[in-house]
Structure formats: C-alpha cells, structure tokens
Structure 1
Amino acid sequence: MTTPPTLAERRALVVEDDEDISELISFTLAKQGFDVRTAHDGPSAVAAVPEFDPDLITLDLGLPGLDGLEVCRRVRTTTDAYVVMITARGDEVDRLIGLETGADDFLAKPFSSRELAARVNAMFRRPRRGPATPEQPAEEPARAMPGEDHEVLRHGALVVDVDGRQVHRDGTELELTRTEFDLLTELMRTPARVWSREALLRSVWGNEWASDTHLVEVHVGNLRRKLSQGAGDRRFIRTVRGVGYRMEAAAD
C-alpha cells in the first residue's frame, strides 16, 4: 500500500529564473517543512526531476532553454508530483494550456507567500470523500476488497485501486495525474451523484482554493480523453447540462 510522504519527507523543486522570486518560493516552502531544491532553466529542471523525485514542483512559465509548458509536458512522463505553474502573464489561454499539459494549479505574479502556502497545503490534504447532497443520495459502488483496508472501486470496464493508486480499463493500466486520479475516485465512489463543478472543486482541491471552476473543466476534459482513448465510442463521464458531471451508466 502506497502512503503519502510525511511532512519531513516532502521534497519541492522550485524552477524559477528570477533569483528573488526563487528565494521567496524556496523560503516559503522550507517554512512548510519541504526539502527544497532549485533549478533556473528548463533543461536543468527536466534533469533534476528523476534525480530528486520531488512531491511538488513550482514551475515558472517563462524559462530559458525550455519554457514551462514544455518542461511540464516532459516531466509528466516521469513524475506524478503536484505542479504549480507560476507566470507573469495572467492570460486565460496560457492558464488553460498550462493545465492541459498536466499542471495542477496556476499562480500569476505578483502573488503572496501566504497564498502559495495555502494552496500547497490544500493539495497535500485533499479530502478523499465528498458528502452526497440531499437531492442526490449516494449510490454504493461495487467494490472488491483484497485486504481489510484496501479499497478497490469498479464501474463497468473501469477498476480503480484507490490505495495502490492504479486505474485499469478493460485490463489495461491508464496513466493519470494525481488530480485526474482524485477526480475519478470521487466520481466513482458515488456514481449516481451529479457533482457540481463547485462541489468537485471543494472536494478534490480543498476549501482554500479559489472558486475557479476552470480547474475542474480542464481536468475533467483531460481525464475523459485518457479514459476514452482506444475505447471506441464508449463514454465514462457524462456532463449534466447546467449542473456538472456524473459517471455514465456502467455497461452490462
């Protein structure tokens, strides 16, 4: 069973070419108990990830060598660390592209050390189970229990090993980011429930996060593409117009 790192074991890679900002982020994360390493350009960041194996990466968008988007694409093939992109540009297109490459959040400069700390802390204590609404009672999903404390969720062709953090579709393992995995787990735990975007944001990202439902929309879109790749015309997550998302009815 995989357990999350303790506070003393957490490692953070700060990727920032501005020395003052790098020092600010490093100091903030060190105060939160992280072992911090820095990189100041794209190639150094890519090289540092397999060596340092960080739990968190803060990633400036405008880096020399390789920009932050390309760094994120490359490191996503080797790590499931939380990625927070940081940029001087607040353009919505940059934000959405950043999230589509696998980032978990996006901070525009200037930002406060308090805001950074709150968001990082929220990521590492995400609630695992959201309450069902009175209007949408939870449906108990079918579960296989290999061990007393080992949770496995099944929904049609999908099998989620919650404790092992693995997802299989038709027996094939899928590569999901941490955020995509947490979203799918919440949806599969209550497959009859229609989740609003705001409810998913609170349950997966935590109460400290800004109420920006674009986070949910982009990550659900990414998750859908991964679930459907090679699955023909099968759909796994349904959009309920004007409300949010729920699991598609499981195929017989």
Structure 2
Amino acid sequence: MLIDSHCHLDHFSDEEVGEIVQRARAAGIGRLVTIGTRVQQAAAVKALAERFEDVWGTVGVHPHNAGEEAGAPSVDDLVALADHPRIIGIGEAGLDYFYDKAPREAQQEGFRRHIRAARITGLPLVIHARQADDDILAILREETAAGGPFGFLLHCFSSGADLARQAVAMGGYVSFSGILTFPKSPEIRAVAAELPAERILVETDSPYLAPVPLRGKRCEPAYVAHTAKVLAETRGATIAEIEALTTANFFRLFQKAA
C-alpha cells in the first residue's frame, strides 16, 4: 500500500471528504494523515481521525498563522493538544520566508516551541520550509544541541539539496509531493534520487499541488500514486519497491500509527 503522509482533509466539505477517503482506499492508500495548521482547527482534525479508521492527524500552527492572536500556543498547550489517541505528530510548523505572512521572529519562536513539544511527546515534527533553509538548519541544530534529538519530517520538499542532506544527517526524513512530478523540478528529482532509501516518504499536500498528469485539478490523497510512480522512476526502482519502502519509513517515523 501507499500512505499519504500529509493532506488537509478539513479543506473539503463533510460530504466530499467521505468520497475522497473512499477513492483513496480504492487507489490502495492505506493511511492518510490530515495536518494541523491552527490551534482552533485541532478539534476538526481529531474529528476526522475519529470518523475514519485509516485517517490520523497532527496538531500545530502553520508558519503563515504564527502571527495570529491564537497562533502562539505554549509548549504545554501543544503537548495538551497532542494528547489524543489519533494524533501522531506535531505541526505543521516551520518557516516560510516566501510569503512572509507572519513576522519572522514569530515564525522562529513558534518553530522552537513545536520542536520542544515534539521532544516532550515523542511525536515527530512535521516541518514546513520555504526559502528559509539557513534558518531552518540553524534552529534544528541549536534545538538539538540544547535538548537532544527528536524525530522530524521535511514535508513537501522544495528546498535546496544541502537542507535535505543535513536534515537526514540529523536523523530526519524527507517527503515528496506532486512537485516531484513537475517538468521544472529537476533539482527536486535529483535530491530524491540521492537520499538514503530509508528516509523518504510521499504525500499530496492536498488539496494543493496536484501531480502530473493532473495539474490544474484539485488534489486529493488518491493522487499520491502519481508521485510514487515518478519517485520510482527517479530512483530506478519498481512501484512495488517504492510502496514498500515509503510505507516502512512512515511507520518507523510515525510509530503511533502502526
């Protein structure tokens, strides 16, 4: 089976989401992880994970929302939000200097709090990184030196190769979305080709970033199969090998979902 390690099911209507989950099952997608982006959205994530046996969730604050009034939960708040049987990760949190929708200082402080919550809970941190490679690396190194290692995943990878290499060296994982399939993404495919096999996952980030040949459509978890196909081609592997590999990697990182 395949696993969509990162989607946003709460972006779909109640009626749609049931059909979307059914299509994912029909496509051989065995797990879906719906991702937290705001504190006030955590209840919706948990409800979706409770509604469908193959859906799990994370809780956290996206860097876009780090500057909002409720966008700065304490470490204790995050730990409490994660105390739920269907919550398997912290985040997504991180840095986005492309859109800069929140002050960078607020993004950085929020990122550090999420790292500390991940360490306390033992749950992996889902990291959003866009045009902020140097600061992402600096914070990962500083927090690791200060408090010890923790599990993490660079989701929807679109950064430089050095960030991927350094993240893996620190014990992190890297997830590839539909961006991997885009004609203008040879650098991302080069990263996907070189990373250690035991550190790669796949995702959709749906409803965004539909893969080729579905560009322009609203993305959904079933489409992760197209990204897996390109990942297999990129690494000179069979689709069956990529399915087995990325599934094993998912369960090694997100142990609570096993």
What is the TM-score normalised by the length of structure 1? Answer: 0.30
Task: Pick the structure with more strand per residue.
Answer: 1
What is the TM-score normalised by the length of structure 2? Answer: 0.29
Larger radius of gyration: 1
Task: Pick the structure with more helix per residue.
Answer: 2
